[in-house]
Every structure is written in C-alpha cells, then in structure tokens.
Structure 1
Amino acid sequence: MKSSKMKLNFVLALALIISLVTAACGGSGSSSGKTESGGNTGKSKVTLNVVLVDNVYNRGLAKFSSEFEEKTGIKVKINVLGQDVAEKRMQLDFIGKTGDLDVAYMSFIMMQRWVQAGWVHPLDEFIAGAEDIDIDDFARAPIESLSIQDKLWALPSFAETGLLAYRSDIFEQKGITEAPNNWDEFKAVAEKIHSKETAAVALRAKRGQGLNMFIFPSMMWAFGGSYFKDYPTDMTPILDREENVKALEYYAELVQKYSPSGAGNYSFAEVISAYQQGNAAMTVDGTSIITQLFDQNQSKFADKTRVALVPEGPGGRSPMIAVHGLAIPADSKNKEEAFEFIKWATSADIQKRIALDDYNLDFTRNSVAQDPQILEKYNFDNGNLLKLRTESLNIARADYRPLIPEWPEIGDLIAAQVNGTVNGGPSAKDALAEANKQVSEVMKNAGY
C-alpha cells in the first residue's frame, strides 16, 4: 500500500511539474510557426519557440535575439530555464510530438538517446545549402562530439575543456620552476607543496556526470584505461581492468591525502572557493571554472595564477570535454527558420559579442579565440589561457564519455562507485569490479 501511494504521489507531482512548465513556456497552444490567422505564410510571420539551459551564453542569446528578428523577420520566443526544467520541457514536446518546439539545447551526453528516439533532425542538408556558415571554423572536438551515424545533429554553442591551474607563488617558494607535465610529476608536486594551511589540490569528486565523471575519465584515459574492449566495435565493459584501477587509486589518493577536508564531495563551487580563498594551490578543471580563478574581484590570487595542459600518462593526454549545441526537433514545423536561428546563434560574430559582453570562454569557433579584442580581454597568464584552451579543445577525445544512449545510466553507476572509493569506501579494484558488473547488465539489457 505504501509503495502504491508513493507511486501515485510521484505521478501527481510529475504531472504538476509538466503542467507548470508547459504553461510557463507557452504550452501546446503556442503560436510557434503560426500567423495571427493561424497559417504559415513565410518567414516574416513565423515565431520560433526556443528552449535553452540557463548559462552565460544562452542568456546572451536571449539578450541579442531582437537583432536576429530585425535581420530575418523571424520572431523568436526564447525560454532560458534551469537544466532539469528545460530537459522536462523538451522531452515533453518530443514524446508528445506536438511540434511546438523549434530549437532545443542538446548536450552531447543526451544526443545519442535523442537521436535513437528520433527526436531531432540532422543538420547536414541545411549546412550543405548554407554559404555563410564556415563549418570549418568550429573546433574539431565539438563537431565530432555532436556527430553520429555520419550526420551532424547540432551546431556546437558551448564547449568546455580541461586545464591545470596553479599558484605560481607557491611553486616558486618550493623551488618548482614549471608545471607538471604528467600525472607522476603532478603527484610529486602535490607531495612537495601540500601543507595544513594550503592543500595541494582541489578536484571535483562528488558523484555526477558533470562532477567526478568530468574529472576521473581524464586520468582513466591517461593511464591507458577504457570503458569498453574496443569502442564502438566491441562494447564489452572492461572497467575492472588494471589501468582503470590504477587511475582510480591515483584519484582517491589525491583527494584523500592532498586535498582540503571534505574534498571527497566537492562540486565545482567548492573547487572555485578553495582556490580563490587560498585553501588549495592547484586544480584540474574545466575552462568555465579556470577562467573564474583569474577574476581579481573574487580571487585573492588571480595575478599569481598560471595554467598548463592537463597532465598526460602512459595512454597520452586526455583533456576533459563537455559540449552542448543547438538542435532542431524532428517535429518542428519550421525547420528552415530554426536553422537560420541556429546559424546566427553559433556564428563567430555572436560568440565574440557574448564573450566580450560577459565572461564566457567556452565559445566553439577558432576564429573567436584568435580575435584581437578577445585576446585583449582574456589575456590571462600572458595569453596562455586562450592558447592552451584552443589546443586542449582540439586534442580532446570526442568519446571522452561514450556516445551511446545508455551513457546517462551507466555513467551514474560508475560515478557512484568512484565516489565511494574516493571517500574511503571499497577499494578501487572492488568498486570497479562492481561497476563493471552493473554496467554489463545494462549493456546486456540494451541488446549489445
């Protein structure tokens, strides 16, 4: 009886959330693609419904959207929502096939699931007919991260990659003349600079896709590890292989021995605070976080911060990467107009203007990273931040996290086991053996 009541309460709560989100975003009664009389009569009469996740870039798009309307005659209704609400809103439209949504904000983690379900439309036909898009100006990794089945499913509007940031003053005090190039050197530096006053390093370690599963794979790949036997040909999970175990042991040691107290459940907010307040001397994190360490209004050590590429290992160098893009829902009635908006929203001009208007280093076009005004504004560490960010983005693995529909589920299973070990629970060997068992079951049920 208790279980039935809980299920009923969940269904009622979900129904309430969906009704509120639908109402807030215009619902199925929106005027998307309609004239005042109810018919489609050309671009000047079209209103696009756009759902975006709340971040600096998307707030910039909303701010400048009136210019797109003036330029094209296409009206735009932009809803910038929290991530969970935005995903519910988009999936509600997809499942209901309402055709109410014209542009959707898609992460590379969700792409495979959306494509497999037939929820989004490929962009290749539109790109082939567009002379003013300059597709080669996009960084390589973001394009590859949003491409499967030999098709491109979104244009990248946000691409975060990983870098190492460190306190040059502490390095100098300890006689360290350059940043660690590999993970062995990183650990040696951590041992040398760690103290009660200032821990050596702060890392994301909390369970989650954008938390420990943003950081741990960088070590896993560098140590020569992998998720599957031969991705994407042989999808047999090999999480318990020796290289993965060594990577997790290394990660756990950094957090337990060389990080501030409580670091086993650090999110990015705690990482930023620890570094800015002088409680940690190094971090390996995404560019959206690293950029904030140079903010002199927030960080006590902005002028002493330096950057380097993430350390490498026997398996090479594998910077973290997270890519989001703008996609066209399969049931949109205004696909051509939607592409016009996406083309405008990801253009070099708009990316540059948003980066100048606010602090946003996660643009996806190479030309923006080379623009003189951008170089002047983001001239942190004598220009190294921008230079290394571009280099990192172009060497990052598109399959940093596997591009399969099941990734959200299996990524969370791995994240739980990794977090347990980092916080002093099961050994790395036992944790990854359990993760391998659980992931194997998911893959088997999915038909691999």
Structure 2
Amino acid sequence: MPRLTRRTFLRGVAATAALPAASTLFTPVTTRAATKPFAGKTLNVFMFDHPYPRALKQLLPQFTDLTGIKVEIDTPSFIVYNQRADLELSTGSGAFDVMTMTFIFSGKWIGAGWAAKLNDFIAKDPALDAADFLAGAMAPMKAGNDTLALPFVAESTLMVYRTDVLKQAGVRPPETFDELLAVAPKLQTGDTKAYMGRGLGGVHWIWPNYLLAYGGRFFADPPKDMTPLLASAESIKAAEVYAKLCRDYSVPGVASYAEPQSSGGMMEGRTAIYVDALAWVGLAGDPAKSKVHDKVAYTLPPGGPAGRFPQVAVHGMQIPAGAKQKEMSWEFIRWALSKEVMGHIAETTAYPAVTRASVLASPKYKQKYN
C-alpha cells in the first residue's frame, strides 16, 4: 500500500485556518431566523466530545447573532455521553433540545421511539436540501420512511504514522498487525512509543479491526444465530496482539485513554502509529494543534490473515421525543448541518469526514483533501 501524504490523502487533513467571525458567512441559512422568533431563549445541546461540536462551539456567536438564541453545548466523553443519553432519552425528561444520535445505539433509540420524527421539518425546509446528505450516512438515521436524525460525521478507521520515525527505523508502514507487532521494537525512540491504543470506551471501535482481520467474529450468524464466538482461537489471537501492543509498545496508562487523549498523544509526538476514526487521526495533520503535522501520512489500517476490515460509523443530530422546544431545536440543526456551516468547518479545520455530497464535490474540499 503506497503511503498517502497530507496533500494526497483523500480523506486526510490539511492546514487549519482560524475560524472567522464574518457576519455574512451563513446568510443562505438565515432566512427563517430573520424575524428571530426565539430571541432570548436558551437551547441545550448534548453531544459527545468530537471535532464537529468542537468546531460548532467556535461558531455559536454567529448563530446567536442570527437567531437571538443562546446555546449551551455539553460535550462529555463518548462513554459518559452514551450512559447519560440512554437515561435521558428513556425518561423523556426534555432536559436537552438537541442530542447526538450515536451509531451503535441508533437502532435501540429509534426503535423505542425516543427520537422525534423530522419529516415535517424537512418537508417545510427546502433550503436544507436534505437530498444532499449522503445516502449511506442517512441510512442509520432512518426507519422506513421516517427520518429521525441528520448525520454530521461519516467515519472509518485509518492509520496515521510518523514518516520521520518510520524512515529512521528503516521500515515501511505495516500492512498487517503481525507486521506492526514485529516492527514495534524498532519504532521505540526515546519518549516516542511505537503505537497509540485506547481502552476507555474505545475497544468496541478499535479492536474489531483486529478481530475480523484474524478471522474472528462476534456472533455465529447474526441475526439468526447470536451465539457469541469471542472464545474462538481467532478472537483470542486478536485480543493478545492488541493487548501486547498496548502493554509493551504504547504510552503508560493507555488503557484509560479515550479518543481525545489518544489523538492528543499523536499530536504531541508521543507515538509513531495511531489507528482510529478519521475525524480523530485527522487532527495529527492540523498545524494549529499538532507538533508533528508536517511529519505524518495516512493509509488503511493493517489487516490480517482474513483481510483488512476498516470500521465504519455515522453519527447524527436528533431532537429527543421529550424535547419541549422542537421548533427551536430544528433551527439549530438546520444551521449546524447546513451546506454553509459544514463546508466552512471542512475548509477551516481538519475535518474531512463530512456527510454532504455538495461539500465533498466542492473545489475547496478537493483542493484541500485530495
């Protein structure tokens, strides 16, 4: 697999510019807000920590200027968010007006009726251009003909690696996890460890890359046969390889790391190889945040005897069924996921994991990420 540089990486990252405060930036999405029917009210948004809500936080003054709505965004870690979100949605308390629709919980939350239908909002809002969202990203957000959320990220697992460290060690980017384990001792240089793993609420995303690569499976034949197969020889091998990389070749305490800590370790130059979601590995190429932005390249995650199995996930924004200000909730969603805002975030931050076809096809996106 040839290495992909920052300039050629299709879903990679590039230079980050400061987020401007131009008052005309989001004019195309402000028509409905021109009369400011919700001025003076407060909207409570609940999302897990992720590069997209991080970028939105920087743009909130724009939204407030346009609508008069004050926004409070709470962004705990992924695992904490999902625990709290499950309780919040199940009780229908209405404490939050907008929440993340987490990919791995979408079936449960949608099936239980905990998310409000967005069909009427979408039908009355042609400026949103819902058809512009990628069909694959929309699939987990729907149930039959009903739309329950709109996607803000389409993720896949990728590997980012330090070109300088691998060159000094005289090794190529590993094609398999066995190769990664074999070259790991050569990549340990001073304070730089060979591999960055994570264990806190993250194994469900990282370890399947290993499990499937070694020929393991979670269940026998889902959904017909849900017999667990995690005691198989292939599953045990995958667990042993991942555990050894984290134990012997990663930074101390990595078992307690979540996405921000692992991504931060890569940006600080503490590791040579990092496998994670597109939005998180992408930050390593951000010159505004990463000490090694000019020394990284990207490729597919390693594979194994059964092949390569990059993971895929989509997360979206939903209006909880118990939300008491649904019209105002929609005002925020239509702004936050508009072509203008998503395109702006992709252009001015390290965020290639967009969900709109128009943004993917835009000349600015292609110039930056292709």
Same fold, TM exceeding 0.5? yes
The structure where helix makes up a greater share of residues is 1
- C-alpha contact (below 8 Å) 2:133/2:355 kept by paired residues: yes
1:168 counterpart (142, 163, 166): 163
Taking a change above 3 Å as real, the CA distance of residues 131 and 267 of structure 1, as seen in their structure-2 partners, is closer
Structure number with greater CO (CA < 8 Å, separation at least 6) is: 2
* Inter-partner Cα distance in structure 1 for 2:85 and 2:194: 42
SS across alignment from 2:319: strand
Q: Which whole-Å CA distance do the structure 2 matches of 1:183 and 1:353 have between them? A: 37
Shift >6 Å, 4+ stretches:
none
* Residue 183 (structure 1) aligns with: 177
How many residues are treated as equivalent by the alignment?
327
Partner SS, residue 285 of structure 2: coil
Q: Select which of 50, 73, 81 maps to 1:80.
A: 73
Q: Deviations over 1:341-361 (max 9, x none)?
A: 433321221111233454444
Cα 1:189–1:367 shift into 2, 3 Å: farther
More moved, 213-222 vs 146-155 = 146-155
1:119 aligns with 2:117: no
- Give the aligned partner of residue 98 of structure 2: 103
Q: Compare CA radii of gyration and give the structure with the larger one.
A: 1
C-alpha displacement at 1:129, in angstroms?
6.4
- Per-residue deviation at 1:94? 5.9
Residues 176-215 of structure 1 aligned to structure 2 (within 5 Å): 176=171, 178-195=172-189, 198-204=192-198, 206-208=199-201, 211-215=202-206
2:220 is the counterpart of 1:229: yes
The whole-number CA distance in structure 2 between the counterparts of 1:298 and 1:366 is 28
1:275 to 266, 275, 280: 266
Q: Deviations over 1:382-427 (max 9, x none)?
A: xxxx45xxxxxxxxxxxxxxxxxxxxxxxxxxxxxxxxxxxxxxxx
Please give the secondary structure, in 2, of the residue aligned with 1:293: helix
For structure 1, which segment, 162-171 or 115-124, has the greater mean C-alpha deviation from structure 2 after superposition? 115-124
Q: Distance in 2 between matches of 1:339 and 1:270?
A: 32
Q: Which moved more, 1:108-117 or 1:88-97?
A: 88-97
CA distance in 1, matches of 2:237, 2:327: 50
CA distance in 2, matches of 1:151, 1:221: 33
CA contact (8 A) 1:121 1:153 kept: yes
> Superposed, which structure 2 residues align to 1:123-138 within 5 Å?
123-124=118-119, 126-127=121-122, 131-138=126-133
SS at match of 1:324: strand
| Other-structure match for 1:319 | 310
| Whole-angstrom distance in 2 between the partners of 1:151 and 1:61 | 30
Distance in 2 (CA, whole Å) between partners of 1:372 and 1:350 is 16
Q: Give the Cα separation in 1 of the matches to 2:62 and 2:190.
A: 48
Conserved in 2, the CA contact under 8 Å of 1:61 and 1:345? no
Q: Kindly provide the CA deviation profile for residues 284-317 of structure 1, in whole angstroms up to 9, marking residues without a partner as x.
A: 1223332332234554432111111212334443
- CA shift, 1:196, in A, is 5.3
Structure 1 CA distance for aligned equivalents of residues 146 and 319 of structure 2? 13
Q: Say if 2:341 is the partner of 1:346.
A: no
Q: Is the 8 A contact 2:56 2:336 kept in 1?
A: no
| Cα 1:44–1:112 shift into 2, 3 Å | same
Which range moved further: 184-193 or 215-224? 184-193
**Deviating more after overlay: 354-363 vs 332-341:** 332-341
Q: Is 1:52 the counterpart of 2:68 in the alignment? A: no
Identical columns (%): 32
Q: Describe the shift of the 1:185–1:371 C-alpha distance in structure 2 as closer, same or farther (beyond 3 A).
A: farther
Q: SS of the residue aligned with 2:364?
A: helix
Where in structure 1 are there 5+ consecutive unaligned residues? Answer: 1-42, 70-74, 380-385, 388-448
In the alignment, which residue of structure 1 is the partner of 2:13?
none
SS of structure 2 residue aligned to 1:329:
coil
Match of 1:419 in 2: none
- Cα pair distance change 1:62/1:296, threshold 3 Å: closer
Aligned positions of 1:83-94 closer than 5 A: 83=76, 88=84, 92=88
Q: Say whether the 8 Å CA contact 1:107–1:325 is kept in structure 2.
A: yes
The root-mean-square deviation of aligned C-alpha atoms, in Å, is 3.6
CA distance in 1 between partners of 2:352 and 2:261 (Å): 20
Partners of 1:276 and 1:103 in 2: CA distance: 31
Maintained 8 Å contact 2:267/2:292: yes
**How far does residue 235 in structure 1 lie from its aligned partner after superposition?**
2.7
Deviates more, 1:132-141 or 1:350-359: 132-141
